[in-house]
């Protein structure tokens, strides 16, 4: 006999399958429980979130050999470091002796010396020295820092905790074509920020990826450039979804950007989600990417980076774009944190989604979620 929790889980998965199977014109949102049930959150982490690719940052955050930053994915402390060979590696940030983190925050190091008993590792995670450990079987082979699968795509660093993960990059071909003229890989990071929000991770994915709220929630900040009415759904595939937020003719130019861009591409922002938890906005001169780390059913850590194309934006332009994004994020956060508190209501049911150009990306996301759970039966 299944217990109550597993019966609930089976019922929720039935609901998800049913929602994900709706045709686009009849799409509906997921009931509130998907965003508030701690058991369902744990289930998501175990079944797919901890086995998926997550964006950790930009490769030009660590341009030189020895440059590193630290981060976490679920239970794993990570050390992201550029090696002598120029490759970026994602290593376990846990000493092989008794588990001390080897590095904090970011910096540059010739080698990583543990602060507890001074074991040291090179930039590829090989043990170099372990004081007073002769004849203890401690060798470079037995005590190497484990490394996790990682890939660089368009300048983003992705990592996966699953050693058998299916590669990500080959599945992003259509998205690469959509972004092809922007020179996303060549954009240069100018700032990064970390925040904690009281929202379910899916709420921020859905919020960032739907244009329906833009003119309502962002009347001063985004509506003048990316009004809801001009937004158009774009490509999607198993691994991503996207839409184009087109600028009105009356909007001032947002910059020229890469030489290959068409006028149309210069007059829109392309918003994309690499499933499950990276959302980003690509414009001619600005790339903003949000890495969403789910911490609990109602809590996320958000790391966002801002990159620019060449030197086109003046320092003042840049500062005003940064303030604009802070304000946009503040506006979204206020909505999502309030909504999170209402989503545990028994009346937070499955409302209808707006037409495809405005909320069709949520339908794509639901179908992605549906593919992560076992088939019915």
Alpha-carbon separation of residue 312 from 261, 284, 320 (angstroms) = 15, 10, 14
Select 68 or 243, whichever has its Cβ closest to Fe ion.
243
Nearer to ligand FES, 131 or 259 (CB): 131
Of the two residues 303 and 335, which places its CB atom closer to Fe ion in the complex? 335
Binding site for ligand FES (CB under 6 A): 95, 97-100, 114, 116-119
Residue 18 binds which of ligand FES, Fe ion, none (CB < 5-8 A, kind-dependent): none
Of 117 and 301, which has the nearer Cβ to ligand FES?
Answer: 117
Does 364 engage in binding with Fe ion (CB under 5 A)? no
Q: Name which of ligand FES, Fe ion, none residue 275 binds, using a CB cut-off of 5 to 8 Å depending on partner kind.
A: none
* Number of Cβ within a 10 Å radius of residue 212: 18
Q: Which of 332, 357 has the CB closer to Fe ion?
A: 332
Q: How far is the CB of 214 from Fe ion (least distance, A)?
A: 6
CA 221 to chain centre: 23
Nearer to ligand FES, 77 or 310 (CB): 77
DSSP, res 289: E
332 binds, among Fe ion, ligand FES, none (CB under 5 to 8 A by kind): Fe ion
The angle subtended at Cα 279 by Cα 214 and Cα 18, nearest 5°, is: 85
CA contacts within 13 A on the Cβ side of 350 = 16
CB 223, min distance to Fe ion, A: 11
Are 309 and 285 in contact, with CB atoms under 8 Å apart? Answer: yes
Binders in 281-340 for Fe ion, by CB under 5 A: 332
Contact partner at residue 119 from Fe ion, ligand FES, none, CB < 5 to 8 Å by partner kind: ligand FES
Q: Which does 326 bind (CB under 5 to 8 A by kind): Fe ion, ligand FES, none?
A: none
Residue 222 beta carbon to Fe ion: minimum distance, rounded to whole angstroms? 7
HEC sequence for 265-280: HHCEEEEEEECCCEEE
CA–CA distance, 343 with 351 (Å, rounded to integer): 12
End-to-end CA distance of the chain: 16
DSSP assignment of 97-128, as one string? TT---S--SEEE-SSEE-TTT--EE-TTS-EE
- Least distance in angstroms from the C-beta of 209 to ligand FES: 42
17 binds, among ligand FES, Fe ion, none (CB under 5 to 8 A by kind): none
Q: Looking at beta carbons only, is 114 or 175 nearer to ligand FES?
A: 114
- Smallest gap, in angstroms, from Cβ of residue 335 to Fe ion? 8
Cβ of residue 78: shortest distance to ligand FES, in angstroms?
A: 17
Question: To the nearest 10°, the Cα dihedral for 21, 273, 275, 20?
Answer: -10
Q: How far is the CB of 309 from Fe ion (least distance, A)?
A: 23
Rounded least distance, CB 315 to ligand FES, Å: 43
Q: Which is nearer to Fe ion, 39 or 195 (CB)?
A: 195
Say how many C-beta atoms besides its own lie within 10 A of residue 114's C-beta. Answer: 20
Q: Tell me the DSSP string of 214-228.
A: HHHH-TTTTTTTS-G
Q: How far is the CB of 69 from ligand FES (least distance, A)?
A: 20
What is the spatial distance between Cα 81 and Cα 61, in angstroms, rounded to a whole number? 10
Nearer to Fe ion, 183 or 364 (CB): 364
- Pair 212, 228: CB distance under 8 Å: yes
Is residue 359 part of the contact set for Fe ion (CB under 5 A)? no
Report the partner that residue 333 touches, choosing among Fe ion, ligand FES, none (CB closer than 5 to 8 A by kind).
none
Q: Which residues pair with 246 in a beta bridge?
A: 268
Q: Which residues lie near Fe ion (CB under 5 A)?
A: 332
């Amino acid at each position: 006999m299944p217990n109550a929790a597993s019966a609930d889980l089976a019922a929720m998965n039935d609901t998800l399958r049913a929602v994900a199977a709706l045709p686009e014109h009849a799409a509906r949102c997921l009931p509130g429980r998907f965003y508030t049930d701690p058991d369902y959150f744990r289930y998501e982490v175990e079944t797919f979130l901890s086995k998926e690719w997550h964006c950790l940052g930009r490769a030009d955050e660590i341009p030189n050999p020895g440059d590193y930053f630290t981060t976490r994915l679920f239970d794993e402390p990570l050390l992201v470091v550029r090696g002598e060979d120029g490759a970026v590696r994602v290593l376990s940030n846990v000493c092989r002796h008794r588990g001390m983190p080897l590095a904090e925050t970011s910096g540059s190091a010739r080698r990583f010396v543990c602060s507890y008993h001074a074991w040291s590792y090179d930039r590829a995670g090989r043990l170099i020295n372990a004081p007073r450990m002769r004849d203890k079987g401690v060798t470079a082979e037995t005590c190497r820092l484990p490394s996790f699968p990682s890939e660089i795509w368009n300048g983003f660093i992705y990592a996966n905790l699953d050693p058998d993960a299916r590669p990500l990059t080959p599945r992003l071909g259509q998205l690469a074509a959509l972004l092809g003229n922007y020179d996303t890989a060549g954009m240069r990071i100018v700032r990064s920020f970390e925040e904690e929000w009281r929202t379910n991770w899916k709420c921020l994915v859905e919020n960032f990826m739907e244009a329906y709220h833009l003119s309502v929630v962002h009347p001063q900040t985004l509506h003048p450039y990316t009004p809801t009415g001009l937004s158009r759904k774009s490509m999607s595939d198993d691994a991503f979804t996207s839409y184009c937020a087109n600028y009105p003719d009356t909007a001032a130019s947002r910059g020229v950007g890469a030489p290959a861009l068409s006028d149309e591409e210069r007059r829109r922002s392309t918003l994309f989600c690499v499933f499950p938890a990276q959302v980003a906005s690509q414009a001619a001169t600005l790339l903003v990417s949000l890495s969403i780390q789910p911490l609990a059913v109602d809590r996320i850590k958000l790391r966002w980076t801002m990159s620019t194309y060449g030197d086109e934006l003046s320092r003042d332009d840049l500062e005003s774009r940064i303030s604009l994004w802070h304000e946009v994020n503040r506006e979204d956060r206020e909505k999502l944190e309030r909504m999170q508190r209402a989503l545990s209501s028994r009346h937070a049911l499955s409302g209808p989604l707006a037409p495809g150009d405005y909320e069709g990306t949520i339908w794509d996301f639901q179908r992605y979620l549906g593919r992560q759970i076992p088939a019915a039966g």
